[in-house]
Structure 1
Amino acid sequence: MNRLQIFILVFICVPGFLTRSIAQIQKEQTDLIDRYLGVQQQSIGFNGTVMIAGNDSIIYRRSVGKASLELDVQFSLDPVFRIASITKQFTAMLVVLAAEEHKLALGDQLSKYYPQLGQSDWSNITIRQLLTHTSGLPHNEGIADYWEKISFLPLSDRQATDEIFKLKLLSVPGTKTQYSSPGYFILASILEIVYHKNYDAILREKITVPLRMDHTGVGNSTDIINGMVSPYHQLADRLIAAPHRDYALMKGSGNMYSTASDLSKWNNALNGSSHFNKMVTDQLFTIQNSQPINGRSESYGYGWFLRRTSNPERNFNFTGGGTYGCSAFSGYYPNAKISVVILSNVSTLPVGEMQSNIESIVFGDRFDMPVVRTHIVMEASQLDKFQGTYTADNGHLLAIFFKGEQLYAKMGQNPFFELYPSDSSVFFGKKVPVQIEFEKDSDNTIKGLKANLRGQSIRFVKNR
């Protein structure tokens, strides 16, 4: 059976999925995705693998770029990538399985497992709050000197735990939402306590071995992993070797590796497979926290973001992840029964934006192919005048700053991204599809800007 036949079989089994000529549309879709990935390779430097699967059949798979730039090595059929925060999906499942086995209860407080916490607010944090990012714990940046020092160190498990317990809570547990990878480190540690095994062994026993996910596991900064791609980081307009980051503080939150095929198996196993008890999987995909998390508007289950829409076929369960040398995205449309996995060995790529575009293609929406834009060179003295803080009518703040020879933009708590000039007052982003047009006073000073993003235009006034 060829790929086109698989497309037809999969979508015929989903009533009402597409109403036009399926054979014609599917050929158009595969061609569009091919073209799209080629454009994204040129435009944003995408280097990696995209896989779309329906049930247990591969609908689309393609890799662009190279597994090793130094050795000029192409990607293998199913390369191994770091998957960063997609690890949280697995930790959440292991916790819910442990609750099903009565090893723990989701309402348990940390004081049960860490009596040394005494009567502090920490002791009242529950496992459920850690799962839903409502514990009050900050993200990694809350650890003193994290990026300057701690993130480089090969800490022992005890040292890593001590660093986390030094954190200052941002809110009373259970009252506010704050995305926190350290919270998932604690969850992984609790699993080790109740099972008397390390996290890797629990993962193999409960998930990867039964599902035959032969290329998925836990890695550290020194392991040599068969099939692992070389890691890179995109710095402005060039690639560099990915900076070092030790995995000691990423247990259960970002220390796993996998392949697109294995993650597709995982997605399918959680959605309709008889391998896991439905009462267990339903907990993962039931809305547990409807507050915005990590800048996203979607709700949250346990370890998964949950998008629920008026069109059930567009309901989507997903997690994205990123660290040095890794940009990753994995999700599943439970009603359309489609899995989408995007894995790259280049950090800070907009894989979430790529998923959105691929969704438009797969579901037959109107889709405008991104344009590969070229930029001009401007001197530092020319760029300096654009620096400052800009405020929109809705109160949102946009910071524009100059560093090295590059202009950057940062909206609120979102990551900063590079801006490239297309003329003397118009800039565009590659990692974020935004165009910014600066506005000038009669005396040629910058008074504000207009930002165009995904068809929306927002005007900002420069703060004086």
Structure 2
Amino acid sequence: MDIRNKIHEYMNEYIKLWPFSGIVTVVKSGEVIFNENYGMANIEHSVPMTEKTKFRISSLTKAITCMGIMILKERGMLDTSDDIRTIFHDYPELDEGITIHHLMTHTSGLSSNFSVADPYLMLGKRLCTHEEVFDTFKDMPLEFEPGKGWSYCYFGYYLLGVIIERVSGQSFREFIKENIFKPLEMKDSGLDEYIEILPNKASGYYASDENLICCDIDTKSTFSAGAIYSTAEDMLLWDKALYTEKLVSKKTMDEIFTPYKYNYGYGWIIDRNFNRKRARHSGGGSWGNGYNHQFQRYIDDEITILVLSNYGFSSSFNINENIGKIIFNEEYSMPSRPEAFELDLNIYDSYTGVYEENGAKIEVKRDKENLYFVKEFAKQGCKWKMPIYPISENKFHHMWIDQEYSIGKDDSGELRFNGIKKIS
């Protein structure tokens, strides 16, 4: 059986067991060897998924933002070693010693602690101004000295977009359009605006109890950290360009794909998988976001695996990983549903209670034989009920989506739900 048929077999079995909606594409040396659409772009209006479907690509935006910075660097308009206070004279609150390089590699020490403000501050249907975003984060203390630690930082990538605007004299939207999308003929990509009528735009969905729910969000205020929309076709044009010098020189491209602290480059995680160099990034996947993407590029092999999904709960990483195993002739397992474990409900009852950290609240509950937890963002009033069943004494699986959860004690003996501490 050839690779294409093996991937078909894997995906056909997967969608028999688990809900999935999106596009799966595999490219080898510039040739598309697998490309299939699954599910609906919009369930309410029965709109099918196609290669023209526009997805909010969320954090896949970050690599495009970094490319914009590197284009300006090649033009001599900035340097990645520049202290950001030389650009933000009007914000003396920003700490000294933070460079553009630190922003791109998540080593700035800047905080993105949304629990201080609002976990969905950037996803509400109100466009936040730069000033409002700055006012939210600028006075927060550094988490660590710039360059000495690593923490995934939304605010740092927001600053990169503002830097592009201040240095280029153009809006972020226009600069990316003129310098990346137009040269690459990415005609179906842009900066998402909630009020704009955008043909072929996918709606995002999540899960609550036994139902799919529509995620009523706006990503425009995530700006250069996550507000770009694109299609599978356009993302392949982007992928193809990254093997060329069409946007920047090979030297600059090598800099982009150099792993720094925690293997993070400029908008990419650079690691090794199957003993091969890989550049990858996820997009979406947070609670209620409605999208879950995985873009993986095996650079030396010129193989790209792209999974775009408008189900925020999709296991896009696992799908991508198993397709990689098929392609590289590694051992893989066909999709399966974990068997139920006979758990003593007295043990489960010891797990019930409230777990809370960083603005997220989870309540583990039981109704007779029905086990579930409720995920809540208190400041938004958003709740998701997640029915679960035990697959071991401290591991649980969602009843109908492909997600696993753990409840257990940490080294100090405190109970944690997927890392979140129990408080009562």
TM-score (structure 2 length as normaliser): 0.81
- Contact 1:419/1:428 (<8 A) preserved: no
Distance 2:155 2:90 in 1: 18
Give the match for residue 250 of structure 2: 278
Taking every aligned residue pair, what percent have the same amino acid on both sides?
Answer: 25
- Contact 2:63/2:266 (<8 A) preserved: yes
Q: For residue 261 of structure 1, report the CA deviation from its aligned partner.
A: 1.6
Secondary structure of 1:67 counterpart: strand
- 1:200-241, Cα deviation, whole Å (9 max, x unpaired): 111111111101111111112222222111221123543101
Distance 2:186 2:81 in 1: 31
Give the match for residue 380 of structure 2: none
Give the match for residue 68 of structure 1: 42
Cα pair distance change 1:109/1:417, threshold 3 Å? farther
1:265 aligned onto 2:227:
no
Q: For residue 422 of structure 1, report the CA deviation from its aligned partner.
A: 5.4
1:386 aligned onto 2:351:
yes
- Aligned letter for 1:130? L
Q: For residue 174 of structure 1, report the CA deviation from its aligned partner.
A: 1.8
- Contact 2:277/2:298 (<8 A) preserved: yes
Q: For residue 409 of structure 1, report the CA deviation from its aligned partner.
A: 11
- 1:418-446, Cα deviation, whole Å (9 max, x unpaired): 572258968542566658799xxxxxxxx
Cα pair distance change 1:328/1:255, threshold 3 Å? same
- Contact 2:365/2:373 (<8 A) preserved: yes
Distance 1:377 1:226 in 2: 49
Tell me which of 243, 249, 262 is aligned to 2:216: 243
Cα pair distance change 1:140/1:362, threshold 3 Å? farther
Give the match for residue 175 of structure 1: 148
Tell me which of 107, 125, 129 is aligned to 1:156: 129
Distance 2:280 2:392 in 1: 40
1:253 aligned onto 2:225:
yes
Tell me which of 78, 85, 91 is aligned to 1:111: 85
Spell out the pairing of 1:210-359 with structure 2 (5 A cutoff): 210-248=183-221, 250-272=222-244, 274-289=246-261, 291=262, 299-308=263-272, 311=275, 314-322=276-284, 324-359=289-324
Distance 2:249 2:34 in 1: 29
1:361 aligned onto 2:326:
yes
Distance 1:186 1:338 in 2: 32
Give the match for residue 15 of structure 1: none
Give the match for residue 198 of structure 1: 171
- Aligned letter for 2:165? E
Q: For residue 356 of structure 1, report the CA deviation from its aligned partner.
A: 0.8
Distance 1:436 1:148 in 2: 25
1:91 aligned onto 2:53:
no
Secondary structure of 1:244 counterpart: coil
Relative CO higher for 1 or 2, CA cutoff 8 Å, sep ≥ 6?
Answer: 2
- 1:153-176, Cα deviation, whole Å (9 max, x unpaired): 422232223223233321222221
User: Gaps spanning 5+ residues in structure 2: where?
Assistant: 356-360, 376-383
- 1:400-430, Cα deviation, whole Å (9 max, x unpaired): 95158653599xxxxx995722589685425
Distance 2:114 2:255 in 1: 29
- Contact 1:131/1:184 (<8 A) preserved: yes
- Contact 1:386/1:401 (<8 A) preserved: no
Secondary structure of 2:224 counterpart: coil
Cα pair distance change 1:437/1:141, threshold 3 Å? closer
- Aligned letter for 1:315? K
Question: How many residue pairs are counted as aligned between the two chains?
Answer: 394
Distance 1:403 1:244 in 2: 28
Cα pair distance change 1:39/1:273, threshold 3 Å? farther
More deviation, 280-289/301-310:
301-310
